[in-house]
Amino acid sequence: MQAIRSFVRVVEIGGFARAADSLQIPNATLSKQIQQLERHLGVKLLERTTRRVHVTSEGSAYYDRVQHLLSELDEIETTMGPAKAAPRGRLRVDSGGSTASAILIPALPDFQAQYPDIQLQLGVTDRTVDLIGENIDCAIRSTGQDPALIARPIGLLPWTMCASPAYIARYGVPTHPQQVVDDGLPVAGYFSHSSGVIQPIELFMRDEPFLIKPRYSILVNESNSHLACALAGLGLIHTLDFMVRPSIDRGDLVVVLKEYRAKPLQVFIVYPPSRQRTTKVRVFVDWVTQVYARLAPQ
């Protein structure tokens, strides 16, 4: 059974070294397991070259069959004995930095109280990780377009435009989106960490759109730095409400253009098909959906 699981990891990752690392076993042990499995089956499952591993036709057919069998086995194990009453084991979740610090971590005491036997390993990064290659159970993302993963919508996050009181005292309060452009009001902008693309600002009054192309006083590619720009008075910022709501409640930031709002950001939790029936993933998905429901636009 361990050899079968090892074979599946090699196929998913596409190499022996990374598969061995994810399984926390020596490369030589992994190679021996695959060789023993091939001798047992009497077929060649993998072809190794100096650069990569190729799956044979027999190996591809075998992978398709055993992947489903392993999922079924994992599901059976989680419905037997102690695991039936209390999901247990390590759960690897990936999230962006602002989501982790402002949404997930403050709510985690509730999750731990409900599922004390689940050890959560929270990976915090703004890069798009390879869930299958890095053996991660699930991730929270703003897109669900990866065809290799299952995506479930978990919530909508509202946007807010705001500035510091010092900024307001200097430049005044804009009353229309076009005023930001016409008056040349400084805006602290946000650009994509991966592509370098500057995120546009599109606001709506009822169904009428207003696209703002402002004068950027500074551009950053990380959400906490974006917040810091607003607090320092460097410009207006347009960001997700959960990022700035504590600062607004303290009076450190002031909301502007309340009547003009961007469409809420849809958030997804994504996971490999092999994790679909895993009980600990299911309970986390249900829990995090409830967390995001509290942040939905009013």
| Domain of residue 187, CATH code | 3.40.190.10
Q: Are residues 148 and 275 in the same domain?
A: yes
Pairing between strand 186-190 and 46-48?
A: unpaired
Q: Are 224 and 215 in contact (CB under 8 A)?
A: no
Classify residue 114: in a domain, yes or no.
yes
- The C-alpha angle with vertex 269 and arms to 104 and 265, in degrees rounded to 5, equals 80
Residue 187 three-state SS? strand
Task: Domain count for the chain, please give it.
Answer: 3
**For residue 123, is it within any domain?**
yes
- In a domain? residue 263: no
Q: What is the pLDDT of residues 273-287, one digit of tens each?
A: 878 778 889 899 999
What integer pLDDT is reported at residue 122 of this predicted model?
93
The model's pLDDT over 114-147, given as tens digits with 9 standing for 90+, comes to 999 898 999 998 778 888 877 789 999 988 888 8
The answer to whether residue 25 sits within a structural domain is yes
Q: Which residue has the tokens 């074979």?
A: 7
The neighbouring-strand residues paired with 122 are 93
| Residues whose CB is less than 8 angstroms from the CB of residue 264 and which lie 6 or more positions away in sequence, other chains included | 156, 157, 158, 159, 296, 297
Range of the domain at 224: 159-255
Is residue 261 assigned to a domain?
no
Report the CATH number that the domain containing residue 30 is assigned in CATH: 1.10.10.10
pLDDT in tens, 5-32: 889 888 877 888 888 887 888 989 999 9
* 96 within some domain: yes
Query: Which residues are 157's β-sheet partners?
Result: 265
Q: How far apart are CA 216 and CA 190, in angstroms?
A: 9
Q: Which of these three, 60, 78, 96, is where a domain ends?
A: 78
Q: Is residue 106 part of a domain?
A: yes
Q: Answer for the pair 93, 139: CB distance below 8 angstroms, yes or no.
A: yes
Question: 246 and 284 share a domain?
Answer: no
Domain boundary pick from 35, 52, 78: 78
